[in-house]
Amino acid sequence: MDPGKIAKQCREKSNFFCKKYLKEADALTIVLKSHLFIEKCLDEIFSLCLPCPEYILEKKFYDKVKIYEALNLYPSNSIIEQLLTINKIRNKYAHNMEYKINTKDLQLLVKSLPCKSMNNKRKLIHGIGNIIGFMHGTIAILKVLPFTVFCATHKEIFKREKRYNIKKILKKIYPNDEHLKTLECLNV
């Protein structure tokens, strides 16, 4: 699995979603459709990395995000902040159908993205596209390397085992260096 290929596929899926469902939509529709789609991605991630995800799949979005955070599949909190921001914006719409998205709402969503000159709707779409691309990347890697992702993201659990050495384990799993570039992207 080539990391460049995964990144390209994630961008394509993200662009497809944004063009098909968000481009001509108003802000409320963008938030609702994105929230539903992101929740579907979270459910797929849980289905891929948990032996019995059924209980979690019934949870509310906020709870799913917190469980996703607890799985530690990504070492940065930025994706968690972005997911919670989408949920906050959706909740504001749920309590006030006339709500208008403002720059403050979008700050966490686009904090690390280059979009200063965009209007709020474009920032919203750009931030959501980033989240969706990230989610598709997580799903793609979990489909191919579930055990390895688990080992890489749960290093602290294994540190108690004196003989645990992730690099040696991965060399045994992938003796011909296949997939190791992808694992380097995970900071293994």
Could you tell me the residue ranges of all domains in the chain? Answer: 3-144, 146-188
pLDDT at 59: 95
Report the alpha-carbon distance of residue 44 to residue 39 in Å, rounded: 9
In the chain, the amino acid numbered 144 is V
pLDDT > 70: percent of the chain: 72
- The answer, yes or no, to whether residue 1 has pLDDT greater than 80, is no
Is 127 within 8 Å of 107 (Cβ atoms)?
no
DSSP state of 33: H
Average pLDDT of the segment spanning 29-45: 92
Which of these, 93, 95, 122, lies nearest to 29 by C-alpha position?
93
As a whole number, mean pLDDT of residues 104-124 equals 74
Residue 77 has pLDDT above 80, yes or no: no
The pLDDT score that the predictor gives to residue 26 is: 86
pLDDT given at position 25: 84
Q: Which residue has the tokens 């980033």?
A: 130
Burial of 151-183, coded b for 16+ CB within 10 Å and e otherwise, reads: bbbeeeeeeeeeeeeeeebbeeeeeeeebeebb
Express each pLDDT in 133-183 by its tens digit: 888 888 888 887 776 666 666 666 666 666 666 666 666 666 666 555 555
pLDDT of residue 170: 65
User: CA-CA distance, 34 to 120, in Å (whole number)?
Assistant: 16
58 versus 14: the higher-pLDDT residue is 58
Residue whose token pair is 């921001």: 85
What local confidence, expressed as pLDDT, does residue 179 receive?
58
Which has more confidence, 71 or 188?
A: 71
- Helix extents (H) in the chain: 3-17, 27-49, 54-57, 61-71, 78-95, 103-110, 120-144, 146-153, 155-158, 166-173, 180-185
The DSSP string of 74-101 is: SS-SHHHHHHHHHHHHHHHHHH-TT---
Highest mean pLDDT among 22-26, 118-122, 161-165: 22-26
Packing angle between helix 103-110 and helix 120-144, nearest 10 degrees? 30
User: Residue 2: pLDDT band by 50, 70, 90 thresholds?
Assistant: low
